[in-house]
Structure 1
Amino acid sequence: MTAYQRSAAKTIQPLPNGGDPVVVALLGLAGESGAALTAYKKHLRDGPAHPEFRARMREELGDVLWYLSTVAHQLNLDLAELATANLSKIADRWRPTPAPAIPFDADLDPPEQLPRHADFTFTVTRNADGREVSVLTCDGQQVGDPITDASHVADGYNFHDLFHLSYAAVLGWSPVMRALLKRKRRSNPQTDLAEDGGRAIAIEEGISALVFAYASRHEYLDGKNHVDNDVLDTIQGMVAHLEVSAHRTADWEQAILTGFTAWRTLRRLGGGTVRLDLDAQTLTVLDPGSSPRKESSAVTTFRAAVSDLHRAKDASYGNSWKRRGEQISIMANIARKVDRLNIVATKLEIAVDENTIDTAVDLYVYTLKYLSYLADIDRAAIPDLPAQRPGDTWSDGPKGFENLLTAADLSPLEAIDHEPISTLVTAIDRTFADLERCFSSTGASAPTERRARLAGALASDALRLIAALQATQADLYKQFLTTWHHVNSQQTVQPANRRLELLPPRWPNLPDVGSQSGTLRETSRQT
């Protein structure tokens, strides 16, 4: 682009009477942009009767580029630098920070870390003055003081600690929660002062109030997938001197939307319990009928159905899912499922031979199987799997998968409100993109621990999508559960040569664990 700008500058014509060259270039840019709009208008109006559309657009966009280059030249700006800066800005706005880079306290002892997993309960009561207050507890211990709305109207701000929890979950940052939970980083006096001290706490409270005021003018973000850039830019300015400034604008948007999704539910219910999962970057409102960490029938049934699905497929296909290795077999199969889910995100019909529930469950199964594969490479990277005898493997047969399924947190299935399907699919795509970057074209790969973290995050993303699909594809979800629970209760998995005799009339779409060739998404799009 630099070469183009230099060549274009040589064609700039001098202005008579000493006119302002910047104004002339800007007017030209506006005029040529209008010409491009006119050309497209004719294309919309005339359709195929306007055969020169592409040639005309090529010419008009070329003129736009010339004037853009001229404006940059007149202002002594390098067009290539502008393009690079713009790409960086776009990445900051729309691409969240990879999950493993979120925590700011990973190298500290647990007493100085934000909790990775915890349940927080908001209980509404009245104080001695008769005012409604919200009391926050964690593991039965009160966290902070009772909070009122501190307003002339009852607007639900007494639940605003949810926003601090969402900052902790999504950003790995919350000076407020560090203070309330007594997890300040006192081992480093400078960090304790500058990052966990009163000024940082005041800034976080200010952000919560700022966003709440904005949300109150936009239906408390109900149905919104994005936050206005002006709000996000203001927040970035407020935290510019703090560690959280390392995170992107997209991270703040995710944290805000996550917090308000939970807030709307708690406000409607008049309180409740939320589950924080910093590893998965989620904040989930639990069903009011379920006690913390107590498994519901919805979770039990899902776990049984997925276990039986996997056992049936393992009996039929064995280890073919990993036969050609991590990239050609395992990652390619995961990529195909991610790409099919992206069809949902773009509001196109899913493949006729596979419904969305099947695809989401397949993705969840594949990611757990992938984790069992990584455990064979480095068991320390998968703490949910216990030690076993030398020579034994976790990825052969169902035992590794079932251990991981048993240890998995399936609480999203108990949640009441869910994020939009498009948002969840976008999260899956982003996590998988981070996982793809673990592999280079030369065959080198990122450390097993990093791949395992991203695979775990992908499993969590898939589970959240499955939970949301319970509402939008309730009949198909019920059919999936009924089919596989039926298999579990009435028959025993037999060797592959007898499977077809035992299956119910409808064979659900199982993970295609047959071998693949090619690489990742390029391969998946051909299947």
Structure 2
Amino acid sequence: MSGSPVSPHVLLSDYEQAIAATDRFEDLEVTPILLGLFGEVGSVMSTSKKLHREKGAFTGFRRDVEEELGDTLWYVAALCRRLDVKLSDMFARVLDGKGYAVSIAANADPAHPVARIMTAKDIAPLDFVLLRLGEQAAKLLSLDVTADTAKDQVLDFVRVYIEAVQAAHVSFSTVLSSNMAKACGRFIAPNSDDLPDFDSGFPVEEQLPRQFEIEISQRANSRSYLRWNGVFIGDPLSDNISDEDGYRFHDVFHFANAAILHWSPTFRALIKHKRKSKKHVDEAQDSGRAIVIDEGLSAYIFSYAKSVNFFEDQKTVSFDLLKAVRNFVRGYEVEACPLHLWEYAILQGYKVFREVRRNNGGIIVGNRDERTLRYKPAGK
């Protein structure tokens, strides 16, 4: 999820080493890996299908196919670990075979001045290559990892996978870099020193408060009210739905985003702490459109949360939901926050929300320095 530039080259050995820690399946589990691999190949094929159906209207083809090819490779790497073979060795064996043209190129990296460029000859159109990739994925579903032919079957898949990358006309380094960022950002707890602070360099009056306590109360009209530093902020809120569900307290989620992600255009607007000293930041990150993204995301996650009892007794958040969140905020500064941090913000926000909902109010205590949010009963 990081917005950092993609490296012009990524070593496969570095890739497989980086993502090894994100493999949460048991070492002897193979079936989930095969099912995941088959599913991701299906997603690549589905992306191509959308291109045919929507043609020029499908503007996200390149981005989507890069992501799906990256997810596919993640499962190939996981399968290789269970076969006790290196992913990079499998690629090397394929590229050392017939059917590839070899070119020598000058490399931008001073540590590796010369690179060998391998290009598959006579590549068929992408659709035909993807059909072959699907066939290879289907064959792997019956893979016996103890059989002598197991590695050769994976090798056959890798061979067609390389052709698919070339036929799709995408950057393989982007495929690897993006998948590393996505997988590591989801499954590995980030170093706090590496996390962004979007207020850095701005005057205090334009920053989100480092620590804050906000009281939420409910009156007889069933509307919620916010009070910060003794002053009411924002408008009174109701659930705005016939089936009362507590959404009148949804500002808790904005406070969680502010405390943990250091981001919430809605909270900034409520306390009038927009970063107006830099016009481009004020317009692009703190404007009405950014507020709509913040509010829309809150409503989207809430709709899902209702179906899972507001994450009660849950220690994780669906990867699909987190990927939807990432797509929601694409292009905004908070895109730099890893999915692991988003998961923490969602779980902490809903932990506090459940308390507020249960008690029809309370005090929300946020600490940006510690990236925490907690609940305190009113009057304490």
Q: Is the shorter-chain TM-score for this pair beyond 0.5, marking a shared fold?
A: yes
Given residue 7 of structure 1, which amino acid in structure 2 is its aligned partner? D
Shift of 1:135: 0.9
Structure 1 segment 401-420 matched on structure 2, within 5 A: none
Show CA shifts across 1:107-138 (max 9, x none).
12211110111111111112xxxx30111112
1:269 partnered with 2:359:
yes
Given residue 28 of structure 1, which amino acid in structure 2 is its aligned partner? Q
Identity over aligned pairs, percent: 30
Of 103, 106, 120 in structure 1, the residue corresponding to residue 214 of structure 2 is 120
Structure 1 segment 143-154 matched on structure 2, within 5 A: 143-154=233-244
Distance in 2, matches of 1:220 and 1:175, equals 23
Q: Which aligned runs of 4 or more in structure 1 are off by greater than 6 angstroms?
A: 77-81
Deviating more after overlay: 222-231 vs 237-246: 222-231
Distance in 1, matches of 2:142 and 2:181, equals 28
Distance in 2, matches of 1:176 and 1:66, equals 52
> Residue 104 of structure 1 corresponds to which residue in structure 2?
198
1:7 partnered with 2:96:
yes
Q: TM-score, normalised by structure 1?
A: 0.46
> Residue 186 of structure 2 corresponds to which residue in structure 1?
93
CA contact (8 A) 1:35 1:60 kept: yes
> Residue 83 of structure 2 corresponds to which residue in structure 1?
none
Q: 1:86 to 1:134 in 2, by over 3 A?
A: same
Of 128, 135, 138 in structure 1, the residue corresponding to residue 228 of structure 2 is 138
- 2:297 counterpart SS class: helix
> Residue 265 of structure 2 corresponds to which residue in structure 1?
175
Given residue 122 of structure 1, which amino acid in structure 2 is its aligned partner? I
Distance in 2, matches of 1:254 and 1:8, equals 47
Structure 1 segment 303-382 matched on structure 2, within 5 A: none
1:29 partnered with 2:137:
yes
> Residue 343 of structure 1 corresponds to which residue in structure 2?
none
Given residue 98 of structure 1, which amino acid in structure 2 is its aligned partner? N
Shift of 1:261: 0.8
1:195 partnered with 2:303:
no
- 1:103 counterpart SS class: coil
Q: 1:3 to 1:79 in 2, by over 3 A?
A: farther
CA contact (8 A) 1:99 1:281 kept: no
- 2:335 counterpart SS class: helix
CA contact (8 A) 1:215 1:221 kept: yes
Structure 1 segment 226-245 matched on structure 2, within 5 A: 226-245=316-335
1:254 partnered with 2:344:
yes
- 1:155 counterpart SS class: coil
Given residue 27 of structure 1, which amino acid in structure 2 is its aligned partner? E
Shift of 1:65: 3.6
Distance in 2, matches of 1:146 and 1:76, equals 56
Structure exhibiting the larger radius of gyration computed from Cα positions: 1
Q: 1:21 to 1:211 in 2, by over 3 A?
A: closer
Structure 1 segment 388-399 matched on structure 2, within 5 A: none
CA contact (8 A) 1:273 1:286 kept: yes
Show CA shifts across 1:408-465 (max 9, x none).
xxxxxxxxxxxxxxxxxxxxxxxxxxxxxxxxxxxxxxxxxxxxxxxxxxxxxxxxxx
Shift of 1:173: 0.4
Distance in 2, matches of 1:194 and 1:82, equals 28
Distance in 2, matches of 1:247 and 1:21, equals 35
Query: With CA pairs under 8 Å and 6+ residues apart, which has the higher RCO, 1 or 2?
Result: 2
Given residue 214 of structure 2, which amino acid in structure 1 is its aligned partner? F
Distance in 2, matches of 1:92 and 1:240, equals 15
Shift of 1:61: 4.1
Given residue 213 of structure 1, which amino acid in structure 2 is its aligned partner? S
Shift of 1:59: 4.2
Given residue 4 of structure 1, which amino acid in structure 2 is its aligned partner? R
Given residue 181 of structure 2, which amino acid in structure 1 is its aligned partner? S
Given residue 121 of structure 1, which amino acid in structure 2 is its aligned partner? E
Distance in 1, matches of 2:337 and 2:132, equals 40
- 1:187 counterpart SS class: coil
Given residue 3 of structure 1, which amino acid in structure 2 is its aligned partner? A
Structure 1 segment 64-103 matched on structure 2, within 5 A: 64-76=154-166, 82-100=175-193, 101-103=195-197
CA contact (8 A) 1:276 1:282 kept: yes
Shift of 1:21: 5.8
Shift of 1:84: 4.7
- 2:366 counterpart SS class: strand
Of 280, 286, 304 in structure 1, the residue corresponding to residue 376 of structure 2 is 286
Given residue 288 of structure 2, which amino acid in structure 1 is its aligned partner? G
Shift of 1:244: 1.1
Q: 1:75 to 1:239 in 2, by over 3 A?
A: closer
CA contact (8 A) 1:166 1:259 kept: yes
Structure 2: gaps (5+ residues): 1-87, 101-119
Distance in 2, matches of 1:250 and 1:116, equals 21
Structure with greater strand share of residues: 2
Distance in 1, matches of 2:264 and 2:299, equals 15
Q: 1:82 to 1:284 in 2, by over 3 A?
A: same
- 2:153 counterpart SS class: helix
Distance in 1, matches of 2:209 and 2:337, equals 19
Shift of 1:32: 3.0
Q: 1:147 to 1:85 in 2, by over 3 A?
A: closer
Q: TM-score, normalised by structure 2?
A: 0.63
Structure 1: gaps (5+ residues): 40-52, 292-527
Structure with greater helix share of residues: 1
Given residue 221 of structure 1, which amino acid in structure 2 is its aligned partner? F
Of 256, 276, 281 in structure 2, the residue corresponding to residue 166 of structure 1 is 256
> Residue 315 of structure 2 corresponds to which residue in structure 1?
225
Q: 1:8 to 1:213 in 2, by over 3 A?
A: farther
Q: 1:66 to 1:204 in 2, by over 3 A?
A: same
Shift of 1:96: 4.9
> Residue 512 of structure 1 corresponds to which residue in structure 2?
none
Q: 1:8 to 1:286 in 2, by over 3 A?
A: farther
Of 299, 310, 313 in structure 2, the residue corresponding to residue 209 of structure 1 is 299
